[in-house]
Amino acid sequence: MNKLITLALAALSLNTGAQQQKDMYETDEFQTRSGKTVRFHALVHSSIRIEFDGKEIEIDPCGKLDGRTIDYSAFPKADYVIVTHEHYDHLDKAAVKLLSKEDTRVIMNHRSADEYGAGMVMANGDRLQLADDISLEAVAAYNTTDGHRKFHPKGRDNGYILTLDGLRVYIAGDTEVIPEMADIKDIDIAFLPCNQPYTMTPEQLIEAAHIIQPKVLFPYHYSHTDVTGIPAQLPGIDVRIRHYE
């Protein structure tokens, strides 16, 4: 009897911890073309937790940043961990390990895989079919401004287009406005970064949004940049400001 009580309390503790983690972060919910639910949890900066049809997808997990801590040990294990590049606020090796189980697929650019010591490498232009209804395309992400190209040189880092049962999600990574954005089409949800000198100014983000024309836009990776004026500059696009400082 005591053993059963102990097991029940342990299960309750796990469930309570998972619910508390879920309640801590802003969550946006969408439906795919066949009625499946996709949930995006705004964790921090460029770290996004995605729930889709029983699958857990973690984008650029980072456990500690600017005084904020994400306790990934309380999260469900990930089916997919996707990393844009190797900078500390995108590749947190401890967080990736905490999220990984035996069959987790860790997908990274080449430099991240070298630093982590494992992972499946994707380069710009590569495509992966992760499941019947999940596909991933790596796209370009780089700086163009003089003096800033050293932060994210062309060809090294990835953005991604993640397609979930037809729902197309553009996760831009660290980039400025680049010519390759003209080829990114039919995007339902876009995550665009906004903090110079590393990514875009608000004006550049607005330019990128005009090019891509997503239905829903999340400015992210914005640190101390004031992004509150962006929605008024993009009528016709559902701009959602979440805690992606």
Question: Was domain 27-239 assigned CATH 3.40.50.720?
Answer: no
**Digit-coded pLDDT (tens) for 120-168:** 999 999 999 999 999 999 999 999 999 999 999 999 999 999 999 999 9
Q: Which residues contact 241 (CB under 8 A, 6 or more apart)?
A: 218, 219, 227, 228, 230, 231
Phi, psi of 81 (to 5 degrees): -115, 125
pTM recorded for the entire structure: 0.90
Token match 């700086």: residue? Answer: 143
* Domain ranges for the chain: 27-239
pLDDT given for residue 23 in this prediction: 56
**Digit-coded pLDDT (tens) for 20-66:** 454 589 999 999 999 999 999 999 999 999 999 999 999 999 999 98
pLDDT given for residue 19 in this prediction: 44
